[in-house]
Chain A
């Protein structure tokens, strides 16, 4: 009798131990979903790690910065970074491997780029195209959402990423041999090309843009900014004829800006913001531009 009871309880003990391991596996998966690992990335052989995303993002930023020079304006840089960091803390993913960084590009183009990992570049033209701090925050929030959703790394061709995983999977060395390194650098270059083409030439797809807009409104609302500032800005661009879908850049997306405005209108949060507060922020926006 005792022996049977003992065996039964021992079996239960083993079951609980196995269950704990399963719970770990599920926890890890759930946590990855919570912190924003994109569904597309999960579908691949394995998702790109946060650390890998950081190095990819640095390379994408280095490529963009080889085309657009940085705007050397300390006051405006601090202002943009202050808005950006506040929004980041209200985002789905406040911490990335290397953190979020915001910089201004000395270009009259109306554009902004979210590099994987968290470096966000915004042109001088964009800062002058927005008409208030809340609108500037809306543009930054949209870019933060692209980082949080890992839209950049999801632009990497699946077959290219599978090659990386296969190559790395069989290699246990801390430092890669010259042959493996050469192959990895080739794949790295290809990955940067994939992202660059999406960010600068073709733009993101409809679902990515809609999701980034919806997340942006949530970040704005949580931070205390007016979420309708995103709609105000995009609507103005549409009325000025700058919102047609025709290739790359932040405003030349698929869908066209006019369709984004329609989607934003449908998904607008019911947050109410006092006009006096918006006015207060506009005063410092004007001061930062001087």
Chain B
């Protein structure tokens, strides 16, 4: 009798335990940081499409695990997706929400469209755009800049 009830409880709570939260990186590149704040040391680099396991949420940051590395990532770099029991048993179900970044990756206006647009419009200054995107200031310099101007360290 006891075994029977334990079995029943297992059936009831299995979907809850199987409801493991995952998030997918939706920006070209980002980082998993040691603590949930900007400028915290980087533990791992992540790229668009990487799936991270969610451990908890702290304000605008998520505690995640990726390739056995645990750390924090900002909410704006990810899209939340939970895997349900039915997904696990029957495979991913049809998306119930349009605009899923993961489902739309590479669709619509993509590099192929950009290449064709560039060929059709050779006067567009993509060289300057690439140069602007390639410019980066190291994080320690931004921190110094904030401190030098008595500005608040971002959280």
Residue B44 at the chain A interface, CB threshold 8 Å: no
Chain A residue, CB-CB nearest to B120: A185
Q: Which of A1-42 contact B (CB under 8 A)?
A: 2, 5-6, 9-10, 12-13, 16-18, 20-25, 27-29, 31-32, 34-37, 42
Residue A266 at the chain B interface, CB threshold 8 Å: no
Measured CB to CB, the closest approach of chain B to A211, in angstroms, equals 18
Are A103 and B132 within 8 A (Cβ)? yes
In the assembled complex, the Cα of A31 lies from the Cα of B71 at a distance in Å of: 20
**Residue interface bits A39-71, CB-to-B below 8 A is 1, else 0:** 000100111111110111011011101100010
Measured CB to CB, the closest approach of chain A to B147, in angstroms, equals 11
Q: How large is the interface on A (under 10, 10 to 19, 20 to 34, 35 or more residues)?
A: 35 or more
Are B75 and A20 within 8 A (Cβ)? no
Measured CB to CB, the closest approach of chain A to B35, in angstroms, equals 15
Say which residue of B48, B128, B148 sits within 8 Å of A65 (CB atoms): B128
A28 and B79 in contact, given A9-B11, A63-B124 (Cβ under 8 angstroms) = yes
CB-CB < 8 A to A289: which residues of B?
A: none
CB-CB < 8 A to B82: which residues of A?
A: 20-21, 23-24, 27
Q: How large is the interface on B (under 10, 10 to 19, 20 to 34, 35 or more residues)?
A: 35 or more
Measured CB to CB, the closest approach of chain B to A107, in angstroms, equals 14
Supply 9 A–B pairs (Cβ within 8 Å), ascending by A. Answer: A9-B8, A13-B15, A31-B75, A36-B76, A48-B108, A52-B107, A62-B124, A119-B133, A274-B150
**Chain A residues proximal to chain B, CB less than 8 Å:** 2, 5-6, 9-10, 12-13, 16-18, 20-25, 27-29, 31-32, 34-37, 42, 45-52, 54-56, 58-59, 61-63, 65-66, 70, 77-78, 81-83, 85-86, 89-90, 93-99, 101, 103, 119, 133, 164-165, 168, 174-176, 181-182, 184-185, 188-189, 191, 222-225, 274, 277, 280-281, 284
